[in-house]
Amino acid sequence: MAVKDPLIVDCDTGIDDALALLYLLGDPEVDLRAVTSVSGNTDAVTAADNTLRVLELVGRQDIPVAVGARVNWRGTFHPAPFVHGDDGLAGAGLPAPTSVPVEEPGPEMIVRLARQHPGRLRLLALGPLTNLATALLLEPELPGLVEHVTIMGGAIHHPGNVTAAAEANIHNDPEAARIVLRAEWDITLVPLDVTMTELLTEELHDRLERTGRAVPSFAASILGHYLDFYERDVFGARSAACHDPLAAAIAVGDVPSHRAPGLTIDVDTGDGPARGVTIADTRGRDREFPDRENTRARVVLRTERSFPQQLVERLCGFSDVGSHHAA
């Protein structure tokens, strides 16, 4: 990402969203222009409140937060308190924010900032894609105004994490995901195929905990809850997937993609067992996915598997002086 390209993060702020935000906030080169919330890990209002708490933790009350879609395209939403805790942040106890969300709805904010920064604005979507789909309906020319969209979501060859084959962000609003993935903009999709290989470990958790400073201590607190979930329900060991932070790092060019072919992607929006499944044409894999001119989506299928250490180094770099700069 070019230095100072404006970035909007659209998220459903639970544990890994918070870690992703902190990763971005630890780099003064990243121009985080706004955050929009969407219902997913928790409801959109709570997600906005959690975002404000995280921003105030690092002294970034200057970044506006807008509440976005409260329900998905079908008028429902399914939170995940068993993963992220009842409040989305594992009851970590961050103080209530002194600021409040702006009145402008999330999709409208996305459209307005895209018009203000034509060809420069980047979007990073870390939750269900309801806000982005709504923004596309509000402004059909949005793909021509946005420089790039990075999406954490989907599963290509990897099993799903909410059904046998569906990933949570896509499954939470398949109709919106289909709209977004079919739009004529440049997309990087960061699916479970890579986020489930970049693992936060107990050793990294302990490193965060030992610093004694506010930001890494908060990160250690929420990561401990995350490790509990993954040990209990997923891996049987204390390792946690690095979903949203990895997508954030890829969005700002910090993590190289060793395999990111251009693929034709669709989403199953039916009511059967395949609902929410990401459908990708991977027939070129035996030829190392030759580039196809008619595909706008790059799907990250392999990374170096060293990002969790990079994330923890960034988090440990925060000082306790209320600055958004790392120490």
- Which residues are annotated as catalytic? 12, 243
Q: Is the Cβ–Cβ distance between 58 and 187 less than 8 Å?
A: no
Q: Which residues face 201 on adjacent strands?
A: 239
- Taking the C-alpha atoms of residue 213 and residue 217, their distance in angstroms, rounded to an integer, is 6
Instruction: Give the position of tokens 């399914």.
Output: 78
Whole-angstrom Cα distance, residue 9 to residue 251? 10
The answer to whether the CB of 155 falls within 8 A of the CB of 193 is yes
Contact 49, 42 (CB under 8 A): no
Alpha carbon dihedral 298, 301, 305, 311, in 10-degree steps, equals: 40
Quick one: the chain helix, strand, coil %, rounded to 5? 40, 15, 45
| Half-sphere CA count of 226, side-chain side, radius 13 A | 27
Max CA-CA distance within the chain?
55
Residue 31, beta-bridge partner list: 6
Give strand pairing partners of 7: 32, 122
**174-182 and 130-138 helices cross at what angle (nearest 10)?**
50
Beta strands in the chain (DSSP E): 6-11, 31-37, 65-67, 121-125, 146-152, 187-190, 199-201, 239-241, 265-267, 278-280, 297-299
- 180/131 Cα distance (integer angstroms): 10
